[in-house]
């Protein structure tokens, strides 16, 4: 299995080389091929993974890399990282497939594909690395291609958005690195397996608190946690479709993964000190994000910006789940992370489809009556909206449920009453979330498309194309599967979370 993990990193790298060896016109196809291959390869992990030991880190490879920095090339996966890893390879493959037709057949297209592959290396690496420094390295690798994607292939105020994105995340990363160094200073190791086993031993509560604050700020920017979220709407509004999908689908999860693995797993006392604040900020994000979304349902409101704000709300649930520091809460956070990747990925694809067809994502210029103008497209929009508002039976529900159950009885020592208040606020947020999504569906899908004299009042719209079906139906299908049978993710995650929390509760 260790070989496989290395291959998952090497294959995109090999793809990069192939990209520049082949003519530029072939770039998009090579990219798609590599993306699919990496995904298939990651699927091979499923039969190899030992489900009875889902809580253990498996397939470990541990080599010293730069001894001077105490940097080790240490890889491995457990039930927490495996679902996120598969989500990453799936979304990247779908993005690359989707991009085959939109990518230009010139040097620019080649660079675009190359950036996506580079992004994949960083994302995969983040989820499989078991050395804090290596983790940091991959975490940082991700920034550059995403910056490039927004900066060169974006629309609107793309430069400003890209700069904001990178400034925010780089500053966050700097703090995170300081946190890692502090951990190293006190424990003498960057080894995440060892740190997880120590579960905070060797660090006093105040050291853990300081380390959690530093590390947490880095992750909070990435997640993003209110009020550090303002880079996200701009970045999403400007980013090209593929960028938005990967940004929302995977990049945000790197933040929550960090919170879970490093925050809750290695700095338990630090996490404990800041848990309520984390939950409170997350909950504010839920309500605040929902209101911000409602504000977008107006003339001149932007669909992509709306979806971005909805991410702030959904990640708020993830943060709330983590903040409870309970097994069920973190299970929920992980589930919600994966679900959000699927659902918001789908939503951004749909928004991208609008952009491609009508050249805009302005909610009011898109026109109404999508159910009539493009039946399947409209149905898929409604489906994605239902999933996003957390309809039980679809993936969005279980994460929210478990986060709330966690908040109903947070970990020992946390303020129960406080978390109940957060719970109530999150409940209000759920209703508001349903509100804006239904308003969007009403605005886009419902309403008469025909004008008074029989003609269509709005521009005609092409229904789903085969290419879109190929890259979008897996997301819709998995949303349904994960919603109907949540055990597909939880059976993996639950034992690992149990292990992560030191086997307690």
Partner 1 sequence: VNFFALLTIALPALGCAITLLGARDARHVRFWSVAPVAAALLSSLVVQVAHGTGGTSTSVTELAPAGQFTIWLGTRVTGLSALVGILVTAVALCVQVFSLTYMRHEKRYPTYAALISLFTAAMLLVVYSADLVVLLVGWEIMGACSYFLIGHYWERADARSGSIKAFLVTKAGDVPFLFGIAALGVRAGSFRIDDVLHSVAVSGLSYAPFIAVLLLCGVVGKSAQFPLHTWLPDAMAGPTPISALIHAATMVAAGVYVVALLYPVFLLAPGVLTAMAVIAAVTMTGSAIAAFAQTDIKKVLAYSTVSQLAYMLGGLAVGGRSAAVFHLITHGAFKALLFLAAGVIIHRVGSNELSAMGGLRHRMPIVYRTMTVGLAALVGVPLLSGWFSKEAVLGAAYDARGQLAAAGWIVLVSGLATVGLTAAYATRLWLKVFWGPFPDASPDDHRIEAPQTELVPLIVLAVPAALLGFVAFGGGAFGSWIGDSFGNAVPATAGADLRPAGVTSLLAFLLTALGAGLVWNLWRRDPAGDPAAVLGRWRETALYAFYLDDVQDLIVVQPAKMLARAVGFLDTEVVDGYVRGAGIGARGLGGLLRRVQNGNIQLYLTALFAGVIVIAAAMIIFVGHSAGQVR
Sign of CA dihedral 484, 488, 493, 496: positive
Q: How far is the CB of 467 from partner 1 (least distance, A)?
A: 22
Residues 6+ apart with CB under 8 A from 14: 34
| Residues in 113-172 at the binding interface with partner 1, rule: CB under 8 A | 133, 136, 140, 143-144, 147, 159-160, 163-164, 166-167, 170
Q: Which is nearer to partner 1, 130 or 386 (CB)?
A: 386
Q: Cα–Cα distance between 286 and 275 in angstroms, integer?
A: 16
Q: Which is nearer to partner 1, 184 or 222 (CB)?
A: 184
Q: Which is nearer to partner 1, 30 or 389 (CB)?
A: 389
Q: Cα–Cα distance between 465 and 230 in angstroms, integer?
A: 34
| Region from 19-27, 31-39, 182-190, 194-202 binding partner 1, contact rule CB under 8 A | 182-190
Please tell me whether residue 181 binds partner 1 under the rule CB under 8 A. yes
| Region from 5-13, 113-121, 337-345, 396-404 binding partner 1, contact rule CB under 8 A | 396-404
Asked whether the beta carbons of 335 and 402 are under 8 A apart, the reply is yes
Q: What's 129's DSSP letter? A: B
Residues 6+ apart with CB under 8 A from 52: none
Residue 131, phi-psi category: left (phi > 0), alpha (psi -120 to 50), beta (remainder)? beta
Please tell me whether residue 197 binds partner 1 under the rule CB under 8 A. no
Tokens 């050249």 map to which residue?
359
Q: How far is the CB of 305 from partner 1 (least distance, A)?
A: 10
Please tell me whether residue 53 binds partner 1 under the rule CB under 8 A. no
Q: Which is nearer to partner 1, 247 or 294 (CB)?
A: 294
Q: Which CA distances in Å does 112 have to 118, 167, 392, 441, 447?
A: 10, 22, 38, 33, 38
Q: Which is nearer to partner 1, 237 or 273 (CB)?
A: 237
| Region from 95-103, 121-129, 264-272, 393-401 binding partner 1, contact rule CB under 8 A | 393-401
Please tell me whether residue 64 binds partner 1 under the rule CB under 8 A. no
> Could you check whether the bond before residue 224 is cis, i.e. omega within 30 degrees of 0?
yes
| Residues in 206-265 at the binding interface with partner 1, rule: CB under 8 A | 227, 230, 233
87's tokens: 């989500």
Q: Which of 40, 277, 424, 470 binds partner 1 (CB under 8 A)?
A: 424
- In 3D space, the residue among 143, 148, 145, 151 whose CA is nearest the CA of residue 168 turns out to be 143
Q: Cα–Cα distance between 222 and 208 in angstroms, integer?
A: 21
Please tell me whether residue 70 binds partner 1 under the rule CB under 8 A. yes
Q: Which of 37, 291, 365, 418 binds partner 1 (CB under 8 A)?
A: 291
- The count of other CB atoms within 10 Å of the CB of residue 51 is 10
Please tell me whether residue 393 binds partner 1 under the rule CB under 8 A. yes
| Region from 17-25, 110-118, 173-181, 460-468 binding partner 1, contact rule CB under 8 A | 173-181
Q: Cα–Cα distance between 212 and 186 in angstroms, integer?
A: 13
Q: How far is the CB of 450 from partner 1 (least distance, A)?
A: 8
Site for partner 1 (CB under 8 A): how many residues?
76
Please tell me whether residue 177 binds partner 1 under the rule CB under 8 A. yes
| Region from 205-213, 257-265, 422-430, 463-471 binding partner 1, contact rule CB under 8 A | 422-430
What Rg, from alpha-carbon coordinates, does the chain have?
22
């Amino acid at each position: 299995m260790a070989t496989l993990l290395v291959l998952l990193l090497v294959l995109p790298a090999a793809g990069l080389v192939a990209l520049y060896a082949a003519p530029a016109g072939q770039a998009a196809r090579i990219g798609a091929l590599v993306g699919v291959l990496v995904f298939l390869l990651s699927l091979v992990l499923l039969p190899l993974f030992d489900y009875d030991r889902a809580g253990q880190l498996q397939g470990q490879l541990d080599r010293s890399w730069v001894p001077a920095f105490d940097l080790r090339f240490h890889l491995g996966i457990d039930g927490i990282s495996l679902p996120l890893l598969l989500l990453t390879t799936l979304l990247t493959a779908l993005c690359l497939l989707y991009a085959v037709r939109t990518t230009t057949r010139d040097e620019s297209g080649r660079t675009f594909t190359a950036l996506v592959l580079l992004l994949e290396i960083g994302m995969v690496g983040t989820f499989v690395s078991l050395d804090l420094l290596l983790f940091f390295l991959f975490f940082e690798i991700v920034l550059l291609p995403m910056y490039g994607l927004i900066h060169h292939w974006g629309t609107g105020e793309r430069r400003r958005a890209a700069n904001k994105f990178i400034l925010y995340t780089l500053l966050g990363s700097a703090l995170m690195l300081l946190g890692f160094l502090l951990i190293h200073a006190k424990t003498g190791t960057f080894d995440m397996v060892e740190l997880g086993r120590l579960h905070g031993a060797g660090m006093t509560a105040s050291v853990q608190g300081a380390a959690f604050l530093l590390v947490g700020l880095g992750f909070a920017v990435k997640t993003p946690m209110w009020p550090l979220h303002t880079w996200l709407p701009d970045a999403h509004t400007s980013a090209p479709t593929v960028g938005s999908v990967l940004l929302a689908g995977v990049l945000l999860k790197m933040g929550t993964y960090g919170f879970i693995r490093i925050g809750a797993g290695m700095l338990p006392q630090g996490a404990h000190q800041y848990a309520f604040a984390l939950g409170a900020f997350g909950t504010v994000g839920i309500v605040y994000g929902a209101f911000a979304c409602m504000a977008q349902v107006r003339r001149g409101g932007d669909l992509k910006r709306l979806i971005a704000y909805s991410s702030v709300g959904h990640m708020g649930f993830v943060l709330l789940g983590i903040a409870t520091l309970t097994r069920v809460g973190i299970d929920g956070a992980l589930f919600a992370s994966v679900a959000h990747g699927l659902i918001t990925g789908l939503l951004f694809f749909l928004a991208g489809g609008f952009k491609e067809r009508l050249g805009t994502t302005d909610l009011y210029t898109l026109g109404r009556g999508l159910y009539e103008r493009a039946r399947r497209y409209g149905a898929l929009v409604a489906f994605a909206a239902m999933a996003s508002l957390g309809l039980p039976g679809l993936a969005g529900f279980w994460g929210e449920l478990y986060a709330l159950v966690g908040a109903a009885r947070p970990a020992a020592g946390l303020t129960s009453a406080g978390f109940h208040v957060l719970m109530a606020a999150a409940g209000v947020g759920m209703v508001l979330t349903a509100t804006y999504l239904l308003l969007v569906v009403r605005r886009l899908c419902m309403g008469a498309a025909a004008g008074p004299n029989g003609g269509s009042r709005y521009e005609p719209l092409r229904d789903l194309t085969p290419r879109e079906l190929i890259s979008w139906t897996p997301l819709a299908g998995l949303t349904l599967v994960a919603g109907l049978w949540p055990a597909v993710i939880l059976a993996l995650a639950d034992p690992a979370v149990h292990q992560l929390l030191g086997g307690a509760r």
